[in-house]
A and B are shown apart, each in its own frame.
Chain A
Amino acid sequence: MAGTGSRGRVERRSAGALESEVLATLWATDRPLTPAEIQAEIDGGLAYNTVHTILKRLFDKGLVLRDADGRRGAYRPAKNAAELTAEAMHEALDRGPDPIAALQQFVTGLSPEEERALRELLAGGGA
């Protein structure tokens, strides 16, 4: 565990990880994005060609749509499979406390004063 606080020591990301990052970027944005826009959004110094290759792979898997909303060369995520996944997820979460507890969620609940402290942290750092 090399937990140094120094900036810039960024891991070399694998192809799978880059794919995840591009897909996450598309999902996080409301409108379709061109490869150049994605490249600008991901501040990891990715080459344009790399972004293009990743997008092609995602397209081949049916995870993204091309020329979305009449914008040539722009991509947006495919919704159908994701909606089915959401349904299955809610079904699993509704079934009871056991699955939820075991899902290892990224974050858990907050008290009001904790919430205040976290807001201050985000405001203080210039979000």
Chain B
Amino acid sequence: MRFDVYTSLLLSLLLSFVAPVIVGRVAPALAARVLTSAAVVTAAATTWSLVLLVAALLGDAPPVVREAREDGHRLVDPVPEVIGVAAGVALAVVVWRVHRAVHAERCTRRALRRLCAGQPADTELIVAASDVPQAFAIPGRPGRILVTSAMLSALEPGERRVLLAHERAHLAHRHGPLVTAATLAAAANPLLAPVRSAVVFLVERWADEQAAAAVGDRRATARALARAALTAGRARSACALNFTDRAVTRRIAALQASPPPHLWSAAAAVLTLGMLPALLAADATGDLLGLLSGVLT
């Protein structure tokens, strides 16, 4: 018998390598959904595996061992003590990271809700009279779109429609909860951080494709993105951070090409990859239960 926890970690790494490959080759809506599902299941499985390792350590606890010896059971120790303790530490770190991520999400939600305070109930667009070009979607019921006056005056009429359609797509397809799920998965299993980044990028691509479909013009959508990026870039140059993940450029390039296909085979492969750690964890659970019942009865 063995606890196949290490394979789950390897599978997490593999999923993280696969995620950037999927981005750009599969339709963003499909890719974002399968990557998030795979990440959530994998994170749950690796966390559960840590619980199993710690539980196996408890199986070594003196009262259990004494009782087992008294009952004449031969003890098989599936997990070296060092690994059990390390798993305990890792589990504590995971709990702390998830707690921190949940807290950050709550803070953001609260801050966003505050922005909607005092707005008429059935109004979609909230304008902020600010010189900082900004635009984002505020999930909720109803969902809202916040755009600053600086962003609105920088765009041409058709480009404003692209911006609104993009943010509307975030709300209609519940991209907020999707990204939250990927964020929590990456908090529980740091190896999945690249999957989260992929999902964050993919929901933007997804909203771009929706906006392009809504205005019926991919080129106009690309130009709206370019103008918004230039406007926002000028305002932000004072920060001198110069950090960029080339996200906007990649999104514009994608709009200048034809939309990526719904590659169901790739999606199925990602989902399978995500399910494997769950199967391994289920198997390990059975092993541990067998061991413990063997010792305790």
Listed in ascending order, the chain A residues whose CB lies under 8 Å from chain B are 1-11, 16-17, 19-21, 23-25, 27-30, 41-44, 61-63, 77, 79, 81-86, 88-90, 92-93, 95, 98-99, 102-111, 114-115, 117-119, 121-122, 125, 127
Q: Which residues of A contact B164 (CB under 8 A)?
A: 17, 20-21, 24
Q: Quick check: is B232 within 8 A (CB to CB) of the other chain?
A: yes
Q: What is the chain B residue whose CB lies nearest that of A85?
A: B128
Within 8 A of A (CB), among B202-220: 203-204, 206, 209-210, 212-219
Compute the total of residue contacts between A and B using a CB distance below 8 Å.
213
Say yes or no: A3 contacts B127, CB within 8 Å.
no
The answer to whether A43 and B124 touch (CB under 8 A), given A92-B114, A109-B244, is no
**Which of B38-46, B49-57, B79-87, B132-140 forms part of the interface with chain A?**
B132-140
A20 to chain B, nearest CB (A): 4
Say yes or no: B219 contacts A104, CB within 8 Å.
no
Listed in ascending order, the chain B residues whose CB lies under 8 Å from chain A are 27-29, 104-105, 107-108, 111-112, 114-115, 117-120, 122-130, 132, 134-137, 145-149, 151-153, 155-158, 160-161, 163-168, 170, 175-176, 179, 203-204, 206, 209-210, 212-219, 222-223, 225-230, 232-233, 236, 241-249, 252, 258-259
Q: Which residues of A contact B126 (CB under 8 A)?
A: 85
Q: Which residues of B contact A111 (CB under 8 A)?
A: 242, 244, 246
Say yes or no: A114 contacts B248, CB within 8 Å.
yes
* 6 A–B pairs (Cβ distance < 8 Å), ordered by A: A3-B259, A5-B218, A20-B164, A27-B153, A104-B179, A108-B232
Say yes or no: A2 contacts B213, CB within 8 Å.
yes
Question: Interface majority SS on B: helix, strand, loop or mixed?
Answer: helix
A108 to B203, CA, bound (A): 14
Interface centre among A29, A42, A83, A109 (most CB of B within 10 A): A109
A4 to B213, CA, bound (A): 7
Q: What is the chain A residue whose CB lies nearest that of B30?
A: A1
Q: Which residues of B contact A29 (CB under 8 A)?
A: 153
Q: Which residues of A contact B206 (CB under 8 A)?
A: 1
Say yes or no: A17 contacts B168, CB within 8 Å.
yes
A86 to B165, CA, bound (A): 22
Known: A20-B145, A89-B148. 15 other contacts (CB 8 A): A1-B213, A8-B216, A19-B125, A21-B161, A28-B149, A28-B152, A82-B127, A82-B129, A84-B118, A106-B136, A106-B167, A118-B248, A122-B226, A125-B219, A127-B227
Say yes or no: B127 contacts A23, CB within 8 Å.
yes
Q: Which 7 A-B pairs have the closest CB atoms?
A: A3-B259, A20-B125, A9-B216, A86-B130, A82-B129, A106-B135, A86-B128
